[in-house]
């Protein structure tokens, strides 16, 4: 991969500037360490009346928001922004809006046919059903892999399973060459952007991504409309933007796309895919797979279709005609504000959910939007009853998430300094409800708090607290939703929650209000539970209650991983003494952080999270500045702990491993210094 040099240079400059920023973070921690302990949670709760989510209203919000197709930058999207604004205003919240002119993509035409003696068109439409009005809207958003270039080409096809690195390796061992071919891969196991980038790196001319029924169709359960799984014609649209390089507007990495900011040439944008592509249904993929020649595919490559899967190339060519419009369009975030005692310009807690979708987006994201709007309505009610939290609360309806987390990233980049100084924690809900299973991911520092609080909500099916049924464990935060900029770029403690379950309507026109109401959550009981959970998580944080943050946990996680990586580190970079010293340093920092978190006020505790920020960022992707966690480069969604070191080990490059270990060592030394400074200031005895 070649680097976008313009950005590499400008980020080196930023890197120097941000050295200062790190130092001021430490100064900030020192200055805030000994504020008097603030209002305890119980008093705050006693003061404010209790509120309960209203299931009928949740259903109304859900119907309202799914009534338009909300492809980012289109009329339906902007109409929904006004709807959200009205709900915020009706709740008595103040409203802040941001507009950004960003690079987006829109499908104009798409067709696919199988050539040969009897050419036949392959179906790209989704069928409409009379009871589900959204299912008719499939033609409004054609099958689309956002940002892929337009094409009109004829070529033979090779099958590459999930399109993972090892799949391409296997094809090589079988003598099947993908260079110059259309590669056909199936969804699953990795983010679609990784699939497109790997196809590109392996020399494919274009890519088709289909949904095999083994992964989310009839092999999993009854398809829509009878059940929840993907029907023959269901298509997973989506953006393959290389957000693992940097998310947000592809043309303004690291900078907000506002007036006066320079846009790069799309040809230089490192996050844009370079080869044409199209997502297709299994109904369209089946004839291509049936025409595939070459060796029989191994067992793990076979899906659930009734045919013998072959590696290819196909005996006949496929003609692929795609017209995509790539252009600058306006997106709009809408933020509801409930000012606390800290005031508008003071410390706050942020809840966010994206509003844009591929078609009607019933689960993704309208289930989360309904919960966000209900939370806003209930907070408004509390406010009328006299509730004034210590910290302000903001509720964000992000735009442009589906294309690459654009609305939230541009916001994070525009208000970098303000957020760094005042944003206490970020709570994300995306596809908040898709089934009965409570889910949670969190920064290590928030994990225990989030488990306890979300786990205490009554599960609508059992009538018992969620954590009684099954232990609720917070997973690490990876990638692919709006928390990314706060977690990975700004070092803010984050969490994401919801209730999940398997389904196969993701990014299709069947993900609708009808589907959610009839197949996922009749009565909107799970929506009510998620809203309740959101409010319970929000209120102690906004009350400035002690005990929410445990920053030592991040260091504990890092130590666990250093121990896991010991064999590779000893093999590639460190001698035994160096390794033991590094581990001992990590343990000292953890102990100091543990002592600190017991007595620091919440703000200073939350700020310790910023000790993980490195101004230069990860090797080759400087936008990612959090050395503790990042989405994996080759997985896209899954989290990698100590990503710099793990990625360096993956390359086997000794120098790179040494450099990434050195980065960690310096970070831990700075953390130790900062924590010792804190301890000294508090007069707490400590052992070095």
Binding site for Zn ion (CB under 5 A): 364-365, 430
Query: Closest CB to Zn ion among 231 and 365?
Result: 365
Query: Closest CB to Zn ion among 68 and 553?
Result: 68
> Could you give the CA distance from residue 624 to residue 247 in angstroms, rounded to a whole number?
10
Task: Give least dist CB 10 to Zn ion, A.
Answer: 30
Pairing assessment for the beta strands 494-500 and 120-121 based on DSSP bridges: unpaired
Task: Give least dist CB 401 to Zn ion, A.
Answer: 6
SS3 assignment, position 575: coil
- In 169-317, the DSSP E strands lie at 182-186, 206-210, 277-280
Query: Closest CB to Zn ion among 44 and 430?
Result: 430
Task: Give least dist CB 402 to Zn ion, A.
Answer: 6
The 277-280 sheet, strands edge to edge: 157-159, 182-186, 206-210, 277-280
Task: Give least dist CB 276 to Zn ion, A.
Answer: 25
Task: Give least dist CB 238 to Zn ion, A.
Answer: 10
Query: Closest CB to Zn ion among 238 and 365?
Result: 365
The answer to whether the Cα torsion of 569, 575, 578, 581 is positive or negative is: positive
Task: Give least dist CB 653 to Zn ion, A.
Answer: 35
> Could you give the CA distance from residue 535 to residue 555 in angstroms, rounded to a whole number?
29
> Could you give the CA distance from residue 549 to residue 537 in angstroms, rounded to a whole number?
12
Query: Closest CB to Zn ion among 312 and 407?
Result: 407
Q: What DSSP line would sit under 478-504, residue for residue? A: -SSSTTHIIIIIT---EEEEEEE---S
The answer to whether the Cα torsion of 655, 610, 597, 45 is positive or negative is: negative
> Could you give the CA distance from residue 576 to residue 560 in angstroms, rounded to a whole number?
17
Task: Give least dist CB 361 to Zn ion, A.
Answer: 7
Cis peptide leading into residue 302 (ω within 30°): no
> Could you give the CA distance from residue 369 to residue 374 in angstroms, rounded to a whole number?
8
Query: Closest CB to Zn ion among 366 and 668?
Result: 366
Which residues contact residue 14 at a Cβ distance below 8 angstroms, ignoring those fewer than 6 apart? 254, 615, 622
Element (H, E) at 328: strand 318-338
> Could you give the CA distance from residue 246 to residue 621 in angstroms, rounded to a whole number?
7
Give the tokens for residue 121: 């068109």
Task: Give least dist CB 35 to Zn ion, A.
Answer: 38
Task: Give least dist CB 597 to Zn ion, A.
Answer: 33
Task: Give least dist CB 357 to Zn ion, A.
Answer: 7
Task: Give least dist CB 430 to Zn ion, A.
Answer: 4
Query: Closest CB to Zn ion among 445 and 481?
Result: 481
- In 377-471, the DSSP E strands lie at 392-398, 423-428, 437-442
Q: What DSSP line would sit under 127-145, residue for residue? A: --BTTBGGGGGGGGS-S-B
Three-state secondary structure readout of 253-279 = CCCCCCCCCCCCCHHHCCCCCCCCEEE
The answer to whether the Cα torsion of 305, 306, 312, 317 is positive or negative is: negative
Give the tokens for residue 333: 């975030």
Query: Closest CB to Zn ion among 401 and 609?
Result: 401
Task: Give least dist CB 431 to Zn ion, A.
Answer: 5
Give the tokens for residue 628: 């503790």
Give the tokens for residue 111: 């067709």
Task: Give least dist CB 102 to Zn ion, A.
Answer: 17
Contact status, residue 582 vs residue 574, Cβ threshold 8 Å: yes
Query: Closest CB to Zn ion among 215 and 364?
Result: 364
β-sheet bridge partners, residue 154? 319
Query: Closest CB to Zn ion among 430 and 590?
Result: 430
Query: Closest CB to Zn ion among 53 and 365?
Result: 365
- In 64-139, the DSSP E strands lie at 94-114, 120-121
DSSP designation for 221: S
Give the tokens for residue 321: 């005609």
The answer to whether the Cα torsion of 563, 568, 573, 576 is positive or negative is: positive
Query: Closest CB to Zn ion among 291 and 494?
Result: 494
Query: Closest CB to Zn ion among 504 and 622?
Result: 504
């Amino acid at each position: 991969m070649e680097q976008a040099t313009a950005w590499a240079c400008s980020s080196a400059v930023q890197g120097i500037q941000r050295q200062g920023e790190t130092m001021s973070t430490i100064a900030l921690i020192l200055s805030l360490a000994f504020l008097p302990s603030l209002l305890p949670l119980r008093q705050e709760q006693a003061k404010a009346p209790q509120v309960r989510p209203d299931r009928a209203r949740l259903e109304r919000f859900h119907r309202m928001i799914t009534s338009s197709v909300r492809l980012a930058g289109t009329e339906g999207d902007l109409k929904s922004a006004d709807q959200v604004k009205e709900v915020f205003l009706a709740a008595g919240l103040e409203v802040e809006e941001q507009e950004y002119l960003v690079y987006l993509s829109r499908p104009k035409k798409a067709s696919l046919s199988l050539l040969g003696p009897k050419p036949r068109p392959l179906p790209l439409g989704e069928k409409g059903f009379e009871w589900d009005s959204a299912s008719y809207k499939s033609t409004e958003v054609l099958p689309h892999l956002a940002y892929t270039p337009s094409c009109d080409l004829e070529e033979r096809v090779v099958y590459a399973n999930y399109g993972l690195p090892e799949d391409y390796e296997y094809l090589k061992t079988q003598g099947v060459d993908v260079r110059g071919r259309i590669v056909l891969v199936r969804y699953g196991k990795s983010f679609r952007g990784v699939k497109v980038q790997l196809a590109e790196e392996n020399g494919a001319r274009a890519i088709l991504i289909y949904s095999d029924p083994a992964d989310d169709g009839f092999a999993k359960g009854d398809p829509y409309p009878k059940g929840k799984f993907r029907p023959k014609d269901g298509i997973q649209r989506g953006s393959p933007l290389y957000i693992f390089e940097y998310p947000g507007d592809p043309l303004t990495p690291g900078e907000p796309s506002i007036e006066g900011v320079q846009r790069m040439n799309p040809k230089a944008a490192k996050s844009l895919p370079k080869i044409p592509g199209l997502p297709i249904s299994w109904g369209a993929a089946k004839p291509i797979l049936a025409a595939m020649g070459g060796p029989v595919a191994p067992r793990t490559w076979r899906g659930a279709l009734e045919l013998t899967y072959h590696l290819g190339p196909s005996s006949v060519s496929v003609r692929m005609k795609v017209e995509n419009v790539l252009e600058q369009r306006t997106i709009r975030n809408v933020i509801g504000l409930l000012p606390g005692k800290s005031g508008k310009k003071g410390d706050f807690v942020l809840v966010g959910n994206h509003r844009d979708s591929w078609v009607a987006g019933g689960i993704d994201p309208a289930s989360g939007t309904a919960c966000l709007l209900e939370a806003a309505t209930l907070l408004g009610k509390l406010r009328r009853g006299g509730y004034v939290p210590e910290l302000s609360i903001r509720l964000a309806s992000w735009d442009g998430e589906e294309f690459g987390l654009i609305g939230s990233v541009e916001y994070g980049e525009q208000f970098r300094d303000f957020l760094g100084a005042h944003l206490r924690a970020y709570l994300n809900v995306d596809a908040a409800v898709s089934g009965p299973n409570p889910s949670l991911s969190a920064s290590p520092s928030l994990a225990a708090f989030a488990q306890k609080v979300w786990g205490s909500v009554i599960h609508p099916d059992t009538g018992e607290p969620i954590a009684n049924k099954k232990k609720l464990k917070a997973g690490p935060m990876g990638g692919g939703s709006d928390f990314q900029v706060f977690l990975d770029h700004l070092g803010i403690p984050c969490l994401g929650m919801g209730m999940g379950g398997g389904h196969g309507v993701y990014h299709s026109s069947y993900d609708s209000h009808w589907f959610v109401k009839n197949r996922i959550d009749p009565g909107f009981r799970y929506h009510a539970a998620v809203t309740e959970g959101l409010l319970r998580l929000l209120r102690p944080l906004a009350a400035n209650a002690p005990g929410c943050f445990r920053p030592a946990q991040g260091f504990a996680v890092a130590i666990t991983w250093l121990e896991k990586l010991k064999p590779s580190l000893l093999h590639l970079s460190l001698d035994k003494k160096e390794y033991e010293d590094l581990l001992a340093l990590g343990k000292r920092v953890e102990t100091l952080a543990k002592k600190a978190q017991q007595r620091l006020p919440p703000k200073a505790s939350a700020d310790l999270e910023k000790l993980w920020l490195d101004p230069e960022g990860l090797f080759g992707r400087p936008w990612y500045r959090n050395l503790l966690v990042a989405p994996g480069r080759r997985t896209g969604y899954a989290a990698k702990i100590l990503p710099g070191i793990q990625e360096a080990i993956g390359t086997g490059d000794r120098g790179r491993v040494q450099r990434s270990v050195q980065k960690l060592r310096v970070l831990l030394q700075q953390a130790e210094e900062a924590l010792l400074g804190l301890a000294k200031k508090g007069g707490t005895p400590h052992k070095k």
